[in-house]
Chain A
Amino acid sequence: MTDEGKALPERGEAAGSPPGRGFPTGDLARISVFAALIAALGLPGALNVLGNAVPITLQTFGVMLAGAILGARRAALAIAVLLVLVAAGLPLLAGGRGGLGVFAGPSAGFLIGWLPGAAVTGWIVERGGRSPGIVRLLAACLTGGVAVVYLFGVPVQAALTGLPLGKAALLSSAFLIGDVIKAVLASIVVRGTQRAYPDAVPAVRIERLRVSGER
């Protein structure tokens, strides 16, 4: 799973960008704005979809959205940008968390896992061509946004705390149901968005950028 994530950049580059340059300006804007969207989903108040009673963070939901809409390579970069800003001390994570402490804390692996998680989500959606179906979107969100993130999060938590892997998994499983619900919602929302705005399908955008050539 992680190997797939690593093999992606070359593919994305070959398919998506004019030769000789990494990212067209339009991509930079999308990457920034999606990184900001993930940050904004962690802001208190404004975005509590289910009311203030349910203390869920929608940031992993944002990670899945970024993966499914930006595609593997751009989504990974959006997450990287967000994590760099967090490391610099900005309170961009849910609950106003930020700073280097989050990378030393028990959930560090889950944060790091966002990066390959978004990339894998994007990779699966990209394979779906011009109109990825709801089943593929759901599979992408579950694999990338949940499985891959936990794959990174649980071992890191075990290593940092000295708990055996099984115990750490048990400790994390409390969040599993919420994350699966977020994956289901994310795939529904991505499907709706891609119908309303076809350019939100990674394959469509890559194709359009190729046709419009190097501006």
Chain B
Amino acid sequence: MSGLTGAYVPGGSLLHRLPAGAKLAGLAASCTALLLLRSPVALTGAAAVVALLYAVSGVGGAAAWAQIRPVRWFAVALFGMQLLFVDLPGAVSSTLRVVLAVALAGLVTLTTRTAAMMACLERRLAPARLVGLDPFRLSLLLSLTLRSVPVVAELASRVREAQRARGVERSVRAFAVPLVVSVLRHADALGEALSARGLDD
């Protein structure tokens, strides 16, 4: 499955070497700071800091753009609405705030290996024990889900072929019902296989 590698850009910068937990804490702190900054001047300063951080990380322009790209139309719409209903400084600050928060979060993603981030999140999720998920079950759930994405995609393309053969290509029902049933069958077989291997203790 080629698409499941995450957006990590290898590198040796200071940002790459920071532990994932520290980066998450820093992200939380700086997003809060962004919410507190009001004036366009302060936010332009913040934009300069973010640009500097990106330069330090050395991830390159293409990777940076890929993080911001999904919110580009939203940013345009937001700027337009704010300009219409508030004023220019307000439009500049609120648009910058959203774009910068996304850029910062993207920077953490770009400089942290998925495995390191998952290990960090698993530690943070230790309270899940209270609802009956010990660390082992939690990591089993996470890895099983990742493994299942290509399996489900494969089931979907099989159902799609069957649908084509039946000549009901445009029917949502003829696609989704067999898909969900085969997904359920797969899940229940997987569950039995797991119990058979003693995971049910």
| A25 and B153 in contact, given A87-B121, A88-B118, A106-B78 (Cβ under 8 angstroms) | no
- Hey, which chain B residues are within 8 Å of A40, CB to CB? 149, 152-153, 156
B160→A46 contact, CB < 8 A: yes
Contact of B7 with A by CB under 8 A: yes
- Measured between beta carbons, the chain B residues less than 8 angstroms from A160 are 97-98, 101
Residue B164 interfacial (CB < 8 Å): no
B180 touches A33 (CB 8 A): no
Of B11-19, B44-52, B54-62, B109-117, the stretch lying at the interface with chain A is B109-117
Interface residue? B172 (CB, 8 A): yes
Residue of B nearest to A44 (CB): B3
Contact code string B81-119 (vs A, CB < 8 Å = 1, else 0): 110010000100110011001111110111010100110
B151 touches A88 (CB 8 A): no
- Per-residue CB proximity of A90-103 to B under 8 Å, as 1/0? 11100111111111
Contact with A31, one of B6, B102, B141 (Cβ below 8 angstroms): B141
Interface residues of A in 96-121 (CB under 8 A from B): 96-106
Contacts of A167 in B (CB 8 A): 81, 85
Determine if A185 is an interface residue (Cβ-Cβ < 8 Å).
yes
CB < 8 Å A-B pair total: 237
Q: Which residues of B contact A192 (CB under 8 A)?
A: 173, 176-177
Q: Please, which residues of chain B bring their CB within 8 A of the CB of A28? A: 137, 140-141, 144, 191, 194
* CB atoms of B141 and A103 under 8 A apart: no
Majority secondary structure of chain B interface residues (helix, strand, loop or mixed): helix
Q: Are B199 and A25 in contact (CB under 8 A)?
A: yes
* Residues of A contacting B125 in the complex (Cβ-Cβ under 8 angstroms): 84
In the complex the two chains form, what is the Cα distance from A105 to B151 in whole Å?
Answer: 30
Which residues of A have CB within 8 Å of B110? 99
A158 to chain B, nearest CB (A): 11
Q: What is the bound-complex CA distance between A29 and B103, given in angstroms?
A: 35
When distances are taken between beta carbons in the complex, the residues of chain B under 8 Å from A164 are: 85
Asked if B183 and A34 sit within 8 Å, CB to CB, the answer is: yes
CB contact list, A39-65 vs B, under 8 A? 39-40, 43, 46-47, 49-50, 65
Q: Known interface pairs A28-B137, A33-B148, A106-B74. Does A89 touch B102 (Cβ–Cβ under 8 Å)?
A: no
Are A30 and B191 interface neighbours, CB within 8 A? yes
Render A169-200 as a binary contact track against B, CB cut-off 8 A, 1 for contact: 00100000000000001001110110011011
Partner of A25, one of B101, B109, B200: B200
A163 close to chain B: CB less than 8 A? yes
- Decide if A151 is an interface residue (CB 8 Å cutoff): no
Residues of A contacting B109 in the complex (Cβ-Cβ under 8 angstroms): 89, 98-101
Q: Is B77 an interface residue (CB 8 A)?
A: yes
Binding site for A on B (CB under 8 A): 3-4, 6-8, 24, 27, 31, 67, 70-71, 74, 77-78, 81-82, 85, 90, 93-94, 97-98, 101-106, 108-110, 112, 114, 117-118, 121, 125, 131-133, 137, 140-142, 144-149, 151-153, 156-157, 160, 170, 172-173, 175-177, 180-181, 183-188, 190-192, 194-195, 199-200
Closest A-B pairs by Cβ, 5 of them: A22-B132, A99-B109, A26-B191, A36-B148, A29-B191
> Can you name 6 A-B pairs with beta carbons within 8 Å?
A29-B194, A37-B148, A50-B172, A85-B146, A91-B3, A99-B67
Which residues of chain A have a CB within 8 Å of any CB of chain B? 9, 13, 17, 21-37, 39-40, 43, 46-47, 49-50, 65, 69, 77, 81-82, 84-85, 87-92, 95-106, 160-164, 167, 171, 185, 188-190, 192-193, 196-197, 199-200, 215
